[in-house]
Structure formats: C-alpha cells, structure tokens
Amino acid sequence: MPPDAGARPGLTLEDTRWLLTDIAENTDQASSVTAVPAGVRSTLVLTGGRVAAFLGCNQARGDAEVVRDRIELGPLMTTRMACPGPEGEVEQQVSTVLEGSVPWSITGDRLTLGEGALQLIYTAGS
C-alpha cells in the first residue's frame, strides 16, 4: 500500500503543516496511544528539501529528503531552551523520532511518523 493510501485529495506530506495530536508507545507487553497534553503544541512542515519543526518548546530545522516511504533527516539544528514539564516530555519523544531515516504514512488527514516503540501521529491543519 502506498504511503498516502486513503489520503485526503490534495493532501501531501510536503507543503502541509502538521500538528502533533497523539503519541503511540509500543512495548512487548502493551501498546498505548496518548493525546498530546492540553496547551502543548508541536508542529512539522517539510518543504523544498527542508524540515521545520516546533518540538514542544524549541524550534528545529534541517535537511529532509523524502525517499518513498521514508524521510531521510540530516542533523537538526535546534534552539536550546530548557523545557520542563509536559512540553519537555513531548519534545523528548518528538526528538527521538525525528532522527535519521524515519518511516511515514498518511491515512486520511493523519500523518504517522516512526515505527516500533514510538510513533508520532499528526493531523493536517494549523
């Protein structure tokens, strides 16, 4: 199945602003999906071979090449503000996934990044 199977017409990985809504964690014992805490915002935009993200309280930018069902990310340059509480927790999870070769898929208006133990689930929009 292609990465964008079931995608909303006109919706693409690139040139769409993605808002993190949920984080899925998978272990040998259990799987869970947790909504991003109220008041915490994390976004992602891929455009012209670049990625721009708001991780939870810091900004990140870097090179990004979409190769079929993977995003090949170069090292991300980030601001370095201290991030206590829920913002810091979300930022740590997002930073963990946004490294190296990241699998992606779009279903409807939802983008899923990552595989295995941790996945980020974004919704198209503001």
Give the C-alpha distances (Å, rounded to integers) separating 113 from 61, 72, 81.
Answer: 17, 12, 24
* Residues in CB range of 69: below 8 A, 6 or more apart: 2, 3, 103, 104, 105
What pTM, to 2 d.p., does this model score? 0.88
The predicted model gives 71-93 an average pLDDT of: 95
Write down the pLDDT at residue 125. 83
Using one digit for the tens of pLDDT, what is the confidence trace for 19-44? 999 999 988 888 999 999 999 999 99
Write down the pLDDT at residue 2. 47
Using one digit for the tens of pLDDT, what is the confidence trace for 93-126? 999 999 999 999 999 999 999 998 999 999 998 5
pLDDT exceeds 80 at position 5: no
Which 3 state secondary structure label does DSSP give 118? strand
pLDDT exceeds 50 at position 14: yes
Distance from C-alpha of 53 to C-alpha of 9, rounded to nearest angstrom: 24
pLDDT exceeds 70 at position 9: no
* Residues in CB range of 120: below 8 A, 6 or more apart: 20, 22, 23, 24, 93, 94, 97, 112, 113, 114
The predicted model gives 71-100 an average pLDDT of: 95
Using one digit for the tens of pLDDT, what is the confidence trace for 43-54? 999 999 999 999
What rounded mean pLDDT belongs to the chain? 91
